[in-house]
Amino acid sequence: MTYKITRDGDISTIYLTGEIDMDVTEKAKEFIMPVIEEKKEVHLNLKDVEYMDSSGISVLIESHQKAMELGTRVVLKEISKSVLKVIMMAKLEQILILE
Amino acid sequence: MDISETKDFPVSSKSLREIREFSREVISKSSILEESKDELILAIAEAAQNIVKHAYKDNQDTTDKMQIKISFNSNKLEIGFFDKGKPVIEENIKHRSLDDIKPGGLGTYFIQQIMDEVVFKESTGWHNNLVLTKKY
């Protein structure tokens, strides 16, 4: 997994690439959570995420909940087909913010 | 086409990528399995992850290996997982309620959604033998 963060006004966008599994979730949280703590809207761009398992889904839930606590939001953008399938299997499409 | 392939992997989260690669390679040998490849890879990876996360919870620095066997005969897919971690108490395995939104607890749910049967069997020389099956 690799990532890139861009900031444009009140929105920070994190572009994730590759496979997100148990082996990389701690690393993912290390760079996602501080961006959420800036209390700006965070866009997680998942266009180039080829694979995500339950550990990756946990990162999405944790990010969403952290943002809600801080009065901001995490928006999932350009979700790849394979990630969308897993989000829907977990019945999270109505809970997480998908655009 | 009948398939039967077995491979050992170090019990570590670092093995998950290699497990997915092995599984993709085996599954791609059957056009029937290929159609549900993404789901099958997820189920296999979640089961392997459970071994690392739960059976070896208190032994993360282990040098043990886990074994994965994928067989496809007579339109029945059987995936066996063998490990020497803490013996699993089957009654304790449950996924969280989907309404209780919190991180974790989804892996077992995914496996149950994807596969037809999820059972633990006795296997000489191993502490746990999880068998996932699906009919096509």
Domains of chain B: 3-135 (3.30.565.10)
What pLDDT is attached to residue B95? 78
Sheet holding B128-135, edge to edge: B3-10, B65-73, B76-83, B128-135, B117-120
List the structure tokens of B18. 């290699």
Put simply, the chain B residues between 20 and 79 with a CB less than 8 A from any chain A CB are 20, 38-39, 41-42, 45-46, 49, 52-53
In 3-state terms, what secondary structure has residue B134? strand
Q: What is the ipTM of this complex?
A: 0.92
Q: What is the mean pLDDT of residues A4-15?
A: 97
Residue A97: strand pairing partners: A75
Chain A residues within an 8 Å CB radius of B35: none
**Contact (CB, 8 A) for A3 and A47:** no
- 3-state percent breakdown (helix, strand, coil) of chain A, nearest 5: 40, 35, 25
How far is C-alpha B9 from the geometric centre of its chain's CA atoms?
12
Per residue in B60-85, pLDDT (tens digit) is 899 999 999 999 999 999 999 999 99
Is residue B4 over pLDDT 90? yes
For B15-49, the pLDDT digits (tens) are 999 999 999 999 999 999 999 999 999 999 999 99
pLDDT (0 to 100) of residue B99: 77
| Better-scored residue on pLDDT, B59 or A69 | A69
CA distance B61 to B85: 12
Q: Indicate the range of A84-93, B50-59, B85-94 predicted with least confidence.
A: B85-94
Cβ neighbours of B109 in A, within 8 Å: 90
Let me know: does A83 contact A46? Beta carbons within 8 Å.
yes
CB contact under 8 A, B45 and A53: yes
Q: Would you say residue B92 has pLDDT above 90?
A: no
Q: How confident is the model at residue A22, as a pLDDT?
A: 94
* Closest among A11, A48, A10, A42 to A29, alpha carbons compared: A42
* Beta carbons of B20 and B41 less than 8 angstroms apart: yes
Enumerate domains of chain A plus CATH numbers.
Answer: 2-98 (3.30.750.24)
Q: How confident is the model at residue B54 (pLDDT cuts 50, 70, 90)?
A: very high
Note the pLDDT tens digit of each residue in A20-73.
999 999 999 999 999 999 999 999 999 999 999 999 999 999 999 999 999 999
Residues of chain B with Cβ-Cβ distance to A59 below 8 Å are 103
Token readout for A80 is 């790849």
Give residue B89's pLDDT band: very low, low, confident or very high (50, 70, 90).
confident
Which DSSP symbol is given to B121? -
**What local confidence, expressed as pLDDT, does residue A35 receive?**
98
User: Which residues of A sit within 8 Å Cβ distance of B?
Assistant: 19, 21-23, 51, 53-55, 57-59, 61-62, 65, 82, 85-86, 89-92, 95
Dist. CA A61–CA A92, nearest whole Å? 9
Interface test with B, best of A19, A20, A22 (most B CBs within 10 A): A22
